[in-house]
Amino acid sequence: MNTDIEILNSIAKNVLYFGYVDAIDFWMYLKKYPNKFLKVQKSLDQTKETFSFILPKGSEHKKLFGEFFISFKAGVKYRLLLEKHLGGFMAQNMAVK
């Protein structure tokens, strides 16, 4: 896909699709097509970032992303990343047990 509008049209057509686009393009799309059922997933949005995940309303992607992050935080790679970037003390206190 070449444009944010193509991405948003695809997401709106199929509950299995998801993606991220520029926030301004997203809001302009909703203004132009108010009957489209698209939603910003706040749980996947990051403050101080310039993009969000855009998913169809009613999709199971929020649940799937949640399962991924829960399992990732319980893994060895997560612990190693914490130790590498924050040090052993912080990794010990932040690691999911």
At 71, list the tokens.
């399992």
∠ CA 61-55-11, rounded to 5°? 120
Domain borders along the chain are 1-58, 60-97
58: left (phi over 0), alpha (psi -120 to 50) or beta: left
Q: Which position has the token pair 């998801």?
A: 18
pLDDT tens digits for 44-97? 555 666 666 777 777 888 788 888 888 888 888 888 888 888 788 777 766 555
Quote the pTM value. Answer: 0.41
